[in-house]
Amino acid sequence: MTENTGVRTGGAPATRGRTTIADVVVEKIAGTAARDVPGVYALGSGFARSMGSMRERMPGGGSGKSATRGVSVEVGELQAAIDLEIVVEYGVSITDVAGNVREDVISAVERLAGREVVEVNITVSDVNLPDDEEDESEERQRIQ
């Protein structure tokens, strides 16, 4: 017969139990890291950005930029795969920007979420030309 003394055994408290990280958490981490890379103008396709812009103008439609626009992930218990759709600024090296995005996203997700990033796939869907900014601001003024 064993005696129950009420003392817990089984390892350090940090190893008892399971931590689950939702996909949206990894999406937000990846999106924030990608946006912070110089040369990245925006995330998401032109259509997604347009719809998000309209949604932000509507009352109760959201506050600020969507942190997950242009980001999709698959997250497992130990690993994550990330797909990003970005718009780069005109004049920057697309391959350099993509490499920097990949490095920063992998670093952020592995550090903050504790998941090994097995791949970061990047689609460059557009290049933002200096004239594009003037056209967008004129259209915004006309819509208001």
Closest by CA to 109, choosing from 141, 131, 87, 81, is 81
- Are 118 and 78 contacting, i.e. CB atoms less than 8 angstroms apart? no
**How high is the pLDDT of residue 40?**
97
- Are 85 and 35 contacting, i.e. CB atoms less than 8 angstroms apart? no
Task: Round to whole Å and give the CA distance between 48 and 43.
Answer: 9
Residue 1, both tokens: 């017969």
Phi, psi (rounded to 5 degrees) for 31 = -65, -40
β-pair partners for 43:
86
Task: Round to whole Å and give the CA distance between 82 and 102.
Answer: 10
Of the listed ranges 7-11, 23-27, 34-38, the one predicted with least confidence: 7-11
Residue-wise pLDDT tens digits, 101-118: 999 999 999 999 999 999
Q: In the predicted model, what is the mean pLDDT of the chain? A: 82
In the DSSP assignment, the letter for residue 64 is S
Residue-wise pLDDT tens digits, 31-82: 999 999 999 999 998 654 444 544 445 555 554 457 899 999 999 989 999 9
Q: Please write down the HEC assignment for all residues of 36-74.
A: CCCCEEEECCHHHHHHHHHHHHCCCCCCCCCCCCCEEEE
**Pairing, β 40-43 against β 79-89:** antiparallel
Closest by CA to 31, choosing from 79, 103, 86, is 86
Tell me if the pTM is above 0.85.
no
